[in-house]
Structure 1
C-alpha cells in the first residue's frame, strides 16, 4: 500500500511540477516542506492538503489513498456508481439480445424451404 507521501510525489511528478514550484504555489518558504511530506517525515495540514489536491488536479481522498491511483491522466477515466454501471451493462445485454433475435429472424426469412428442413 502506498503512503500519502508516495501518492503526493507521483501526482506532483505527473503534473510536471518540482518540489520548489509546488512549495511556491503553496506559499511555503522552500521545498523542504514538500520533501518532508513526500518522505513521510511530516504530514500536511488539511488546508494544505486541499490546496495540493487543487494544484495537482486531484482529490484529497485520492491523496489519502481512499480512491485508486490512476496511472494515466484522469481525463481518460470516468467514475460511475456501481449500481449505475450494472444497469448500463444490463441494458447493453438486452440490446445485444434484441439484435441477435432480429438477425436470427432475418436469417430464418432468407432461407429457402429446403434449408429450413
Structure 2
C-alpha cells in the first residue's frame, strides 16, 4: 500500500465513508477505483487529489504524505502562532497562581477563625 493509498483510506474512514460513497462523491464508476488507489495499484490524478482534499477538508500535501496527517477532522483544530500560544499559556499559569494564592489566603483566614473559636473565653 502506498502512502497516498493509506492516507485516502484513513481520511475516508475518519469521515465514516465506505469506498462506494467516496466513488460516488468523485463521480467514479464504482468502488474498484477507490480500492485500487488504496491498495496502491493505481494513483489518483492531481485533479482527483484536489477533489478528495476538498471532500476530506484537508490538503493535497497531507494526502500525498508531504506533511503529517491530522488524526481528526481539521475542524477539531485551530491554527495559532507559537508566540501567541506561549503568551496564552503564561497568562493561564499566572491566573492559576493567583487562584492558588487566593485559596491559601482563604484557608489561612479560616484556620485563624477556627483557632479563635476554639480558645476558651475568659
Fold shared per TM-score above 0.5 = yes
Please give the secondary structure, in 2, of the residue aligned with 1:67.
coil
User: Which residue of 1 is the match for residue 50 of structure 2?
Assistant: 50
CA RMSD of aligned residues (A): 2.8
Question: What is the distance in 1 between the residues matched to 2:94 and 2:3?
Answer: 43
Please report how far the alpha carbon of residue 34 of structure 1 lies from its aligned counterpart in structure 2 after TM superposition. Answer: 1.9
Which has the larger displacement, 34-43 or 23-32? 23-32
Question: What is the distance in 1 between the residues matched to 2:44 and 2:18?
Answer: 17
User: Which residue of 1 is the match for residue 7 of structure 2?
Assistant: 7
Question: What is the distance in 2 between the residues matched to 1:69 and 1:58?
Answer: 9
Aligned length: 111
Structure 1 gap ranges (5+): none
User: Which residue of 2 is the match for residue 69 of structure 1?
Assistant: 70
Structure 2 gap ranges (5+): 116-122
Please report how far the alpha carbon of residue 111 of structure 1 lies from its aligned counterpart in structure 2 after TM superposition. Answer: 4.3
TM-score, normalised via structure 2 length: 0.68
Question: What is the distance in 2 between the residues matched to 1:47 and 1:95?
Answer: 50
Report which of the two structures shows the higher radius of gyration computed on alpha carbons. 2
